Amino acid sequence: MADLTLTTFDWVPEMPRGFVRDLRVRWALEEAALPYRVASVPFDDRGPAHLAHQPFGQVPRLTDGDLSIFESGAILLHLGERSDKLMPSDPRGRVEATKWVFAALNSVEMASLPWAMLKFMGHADDTPAWKFLDGFLEVRLKHLELVLARREWLAGSFSVADILMSDVLRPVDRFEGLANHPACRAYLARATARPAFAKARTDQMAHFASADKARGIS
């Protein structure tokens, strides 16, 4: 039996499917060919048992033996310690990948997440708040575009940094936010063309589709 257990929600509504962050962990596990199983916690009732392991009531969570890890960035860095398919083996490369993990989560997702959430919820795009967020994201993408125009992957070889950065960019691309950033769009296309991403996304979608049947949703 696998000693790695990925915990996600038992069900989510239709709109966020394919974007729930357990996909990042599934993707990394598939890239590294690490055996794992998937467990679920209730989406509708995030009680004390869930909060004891994830204090914000979110997913994903990874159990590795007696270790319980939350936050997708922390999980991917942990998995990077287990597989050189996820992190460069040389010290300089590992530092480079780690820098870009934090850049994806702190510099880019800080701008992309609120922008994408407003798009998901159908908010008007002519308010001062929207214009501020749109400009904020544009600045971040402008700087990222310069980086990605010069390299295939962020740390030389494909790594957890690319899993995080590309997944941060996916919701932006869903709403055509990368239209004026061809290097970002090409980078995302390279990342999501990898078989491990396709497997991770297919498995996540199947997981939630199965939950629909359990709920009697057709």
Per-residue pLDDT reduced to its tens digit, 106-125: 999 999 999 999 999 888 88
Count of residues making up the chain: 218
* Together in a domain, 102 and 133: yes
Looking at the fold, whether 117 and 139 belong to one and the same domain comes out as yes
Distance CA 133, CA 130 (A): 5
For the stretch 153-185, pLDDT in tens is 999 999 999 999 999 999 999 999 999 999 999
Neighbours of 100 (CB within 10 A): 22
Domains: count for the chain: 2
Mean pLDDT of the chain: 95
Q: Do 100 and 65 sit in the same domain of this protein? A: no
- Report the distance separating Cα 164 and Cα 157, nearest Å: 14
C-alpha closest to that of 9 among 210, 167, 208: 208
Indicate if 129 and 105 belong to the same structural domain: yes
| Angle formed at CA 153 by CA 152 and CA 154, multiple of 5 degrees | 130
Q: Pull the structure tokens for residue 87.
A: 């992190």
The model's pLDDT over 22-43, given as tens digits with 9 standing for 90+, comes to: 999 999 999 999 999 999 999 9
Q: Are 191 and 197 in contact (CB under 8 A)?
A: yes
For residues 29 and 36, is the Cβ–Cβ distance under 8 A?
Answer: yes
pLDDT value at 216 more than 90: no
Q: Which residues contact 185 (CB under 8 A, 6 or more apart)?
A: 173, 178, 179
Over residues 83-101, the pLDDT tens digits come to 999 999 999 999 999 999 9
**DSSP strand pairing (67-70 vs 4-9):** unpaired
Residues 6+ apart with CB under 8 A from 78: 62, 64, 67, 69
pLDDT at residue 21 above 70?
yes
Domain that holds residue 207: 4-85+196-215
CA distance 44 to 40: 12
Is it the case that residue 1 has pLDDT exceeding 50? no
Could you tell me if 29 and 116 lie in one domain?
no
212 contacts 13 by C-beta, under 8 angstroms:
no
Q: Are 210 and 38 in contact (CB under 8 A)?
A: no
CATH number, residue 39: 3.40.30.10
171 & 97 share domain:
yes
Q: Are residues 161 and 211 in the same domain?
A: no
Complete DSSP assignment for 138-160: HHHHHHHHHHHTS-SSTBSB--H
122: domain CATH number? Answer: 1.20.1050.10
